[in-house]
Structures are given as structure tokens and as C-alpha cells.
Amino acid sequence: MKTASLVILSSLLLSTSASAATNLVFSFWGDPAEAPPFLEIVKNFNASHPDIQVTYQQTPWSGYWTKLDAQLAAKAGPDVMFITNVPTYASRGQLLQLDSLISKDKFPINQFNPEFLAIHKYKGGLYSIPRDNDTMVLYYNKDAFDEAKVPYPTDAWKWADLRSAALKLTKRDGSRVSRYGVVLENNKWPTFVYQNGGKVFDDPLNPTKFMLNDAKGTAAIQFIADLINKDKVAPAFQEMAQIGDSTQLFSSGQAAMVMTNAARLTTFKSAPFKWAVAPLPAGPTGVRANTVGGAGFGINANTQHKAEAWTFLQYLAGAQGQTIFAKGGGAVPAMNLNKTVTGAFNVPFENVFLAESNRQGVYPNFAKYVQISNTLLNPALDTVWNGESTAQAALSKIAPDVDQLLK
């Protein structure tokens, strides 16, 4: 009888313990190849924190923001989220400010490059902790270069070298292009602006004036457009919706070069050709630049479990999580002043990635940037990308309206 009572009591205690665990939801985007580090972190955290259990929601990039925006607008959604455009969400009151929590628990925020932290702030407060800095490099198909008898890219390359190589690498079957010399990503144009010594705004975080319409900015935008429309060595952005994105085109051999980040390393491993990476080419005057971008992790301001969400965020964005992401090789770690983390970033061409991460220009990131992009900037750029307008005409036309929104 006593034994039976003890068994019942033990079962009740275990049941009570299990039911007492706080359940959190963590959402992130990505394709299946990008998921393993996220899943490993969730698994390890749950094993070491029986009082907090995390479930995850993975959504493709294409549907992530529509889903998240609807959830947050309804004061619902995940407790912890993978996030970009931090000022937009912080200005809506949808992200929890982290400064007091960081101070109270002595989270080692000083192990992150201050430039990486800048785009995760709003009005001086920190609202997310960066995972990576989205450093880009130039991936190139060595077999294609060998076939076309083009020398491999070097750190001495400038835009003219990129264009010259792309012209020689492009293959045509009549009117059809069977291999583009280069494929570009339509949201990476600020890097070209910085490489030309230009600016998008007078200050990327606290702007008062639009500057993309000056000579250096328009020349950079026109260079991209000319690769597409004049030289026809890069696919049009609208065409890529049918033929495949930059990752698909490069990995299938339909493009000989692509400028993209470390997240593509895992995908390109299975490419049926030899490839390597090189630094991004410098601008015409030798300016070398990359762009601070990347995503971070934030807490839903409306979570019912702030303390538990912060416990998970410290693990996810701290040395434990950063080390797992670094080992995965899909992201250049933002915690780049922690030697354990950077030591775990043991990937092909790691020195190129780490060197490029020190050539950063800050990507525009302020509360109204999404509005400006959606209503003015992107529509204007689309007319340039599709050859309807010159960069100078399109950007000069919207400049007064952009400046008005900045007031």
C-alpha cells in the first residue's frame, strides 16, 4: 500500500513539474538548409532548462513578415523572434527594450562590435541582439572561369574588372542566355553606393536628408542597371521570379558569380562545380566597402513571459547560441569580440568573410525606412532596374518627397 502511494505521489510530482514549465514560442525564417543551428539551440536549451520549454515556428522568408506583422498587430505572436527592420517594430511598441535586462544580468554586450549593434537600436535603446552582420563576398564558379579563360577574382578587383569578367563569362544560345556572368540581389544596392563613396542618407540611422540622388549615388545605381539592361550580363530582377533567385542561378551553373552572404555556404556545398570566394570588388576610385546588415533576436513586447523569454534570448544570442551558429557556418558571427565564438567560425574562406566584416557601411535603418522604401524608393528603383528611367531622373524625382517624410 505504501509502495502504491509513493508511486502515485511520484507521478503527481512529475506531472506537476512538467505542467509547471513555461512554454515559449520562437519564430524564425529560412529554408530547410538553414534550420539545423536553430533546432540545435532549441534542443539544447530545452534540455538544460526543464522549467522553460521552447517550441519553434519556421516560415520561409517570403511569408514570414506577412504572418508576423498580422500577429503583432493583434498583440499576439511568438515570444521571441528573428527580426530585422528593428526601428520599425520598436516604434510600434512591438519589441521589448533590452537595456535594463542586459545591465541587470550583465549580458556581455561589449563582445559585439558597436557598429553591428547600431542597426538594432531605436532612439538610443537596444531592441534586439544581432546574430550576424550579413557580410557579403563574391562567390565565383571556378569551372566557368577556366572555360572562359578568365583569371580568378583578386582583392585588386574594381567594378571594371567585375564587368569585364561578366561580359566574357556570359554565354548565349541565340537570344537566350544560358549562363549569366553575374547575378545580383536587388536589396544589396547600398553596398555599391558605399563602394562609390556615396550615401543613401546623410545619416543611415538618424537621417535628415536623402542623398542617393547625388552624383556618386546615381552612378552606383546606374552601374547595376547597366549590367542588366545595357551589357545584359545579369538577369533582370523581375525575370528572376520565373527563372530562379540568385542562389538557385549560381548553384545550378546559370550564373558564374554572385555577391551574397555566408548563409549560402551550405547550399553551394552541393553545387556540381568547383567554386571559391573573393572579396567584393572596390569602386572605381578604390573604395572598399561592405554593408552592416544582418538579423537579430528580439522579445515580443506583449509576451506574457518576459523573464523566461529573456532567459532564452540570453542563450540564443549569447556565446552558447553564437557558437552554434558559427559552427554551422551560415552566418558571420556578430559576437566577433568573443574568441570562442570567432574560433568556432571554421568555414571555407573564413578569412575572406572576417576581413570583409571589417569594411562595413551601415545599412539604412530607421523607423520610416520601410515606408520610404515601399512607397517611394523601391518603385523608383524598379523603373531604373527595368530600363524605363535613368538613375539620375528617377532618384531626383523622388528626392523632395523623401526629404518631406524625413521631417
Q: Are strands 360-362 and 290-292 parallel, antiparallel or unpaired?
A: parallel
Q: Is residue 319 part of a domain?
A: yes
Residue scoring higher pLDDT (367 or 300): 300
How many angstroms separate the CA atoms of 206 and 163, rounded?
34
Q: What is the pLDDT of residue 19?
A: 58
- In the structure grid, which three cell numbers stand for residue 380, read together? 523608383
Q: Is residue 2 part of a domain?
A: no
What range does the domain containing 119 cover? 21-133+293-362
Identify the sign of the CA torsion 144, 148, 151, 155: negative
- In the structure grid, which three cell numbers stand for residue 14, read together? 512529475
Select, from the ranges 29-33, 45-49, 119-123, 286-290, the one with the highest average predicted confidence (pLDDT): 45-49
> Are residue 176 and residue 257 in the same domain, yes or no?
yes
Residue scoring higher pLDDT (348 or 96): 96
Choosing from 362, 379, 396, the residue where a domain stops is: 362
The string of pLDDT tens digits covering residues 347-389 is 888 889 888 877 777 889 898 998 999 999 999 999 999 999 9
Whether residue 198 has pLDDT greater than 70: yes
Q: Taking a C-beta distance cutoff of 8 angstroms, is the pair 127, 332 a contact? A: no
Strand partners, 130: 296
188: nearest Cα among 197, 200, 206: 200
The string of pLDDT tens digits covering residues 333-345 is 889 889 999 899 8
> Are residue 286 and residue 382 in the same domain, yes or no?
yes
pTM above 0.85, yes or no: no
Domain count along the chain:
2
- In the structure grid, which three cell numbers stand for residue 164, read together? 569585364
Mean pLDDT calculated for residue range 86-102: 97
> Are residue 358 and residue 400 in the same domain, yes or no?
no
Whether residue 72 has pLDDT greater than 80: yes
> Are residue 58 and residue 143 in the same domain, yes or no?
no
How many angstroms separate the CA atoms of 139 and 142, rounded?
9
Q: Is residue 91 part of a domain?
A: yes
> Are residue 122 and residue 190 in the same domain, yes or no?
no
Q: Is residue 7 part of a domain?
A: no
> Are residue 77 and residue 154 in the same domain, yes or no?
no
Mean pLDDT calculated for residue range 290-300: 90
Q: Is residue 392 part of a domain?
A: yes
Q: Is residue 1 part of a domain?
A: no
224: nearest Cα among 396, 391, 399: 391
Q: What is the pLDDT of residue 144?
A: 98
> Are residue 38 and residue 117 in the same domain, yes or no?
yes
Residue percentage of the chain with pLDDT more than 70: 95
> Are residue 146 and residue 267 in the same domain, yes or no?
yes
> Are residue 268 and residue 332 in the same domain, yes or no?
no
> Are residue 310 and residue 171 in the same domain, yes or no?
no
**How far, in Å, are 124, 188, 201, 214, 376 from residue 206 at the CA level?**
11, 20, 9, 19, 18
Q: Which of 8-17, 155-164, 313-322 bottoms out in mean pLDDT, i.e. has the lowest?
A: 8-17
How many angstroms separate the CA atoms of 123 and 95, rounded?
13
Q: Is residue 397 part of a domain?
A: yes
Identify the residue whose cell numbers are 538577369: 235
Whether residue 293 has pLDDT greater than 50: yes
Q: What is the pLDDT of residue 179?
A: 98
Q: Is residue 193 part of a domain?
A: yes
> Are residue 239 and residue 278 in the same domain, yes or no?
yes
Give the domain CATH number at 252. Answer: 3.40.190.10
Q: Taking a C-beta distance cutoff of 8 angstroms, is the pair 129, 295 a contact? A: no
The string of pLDDT tens digits covering residues 168-194 is 999 999 889 999 999 999 889 999 999
> Are residue 42 and residue 167 in the same domain, yes or no?
no
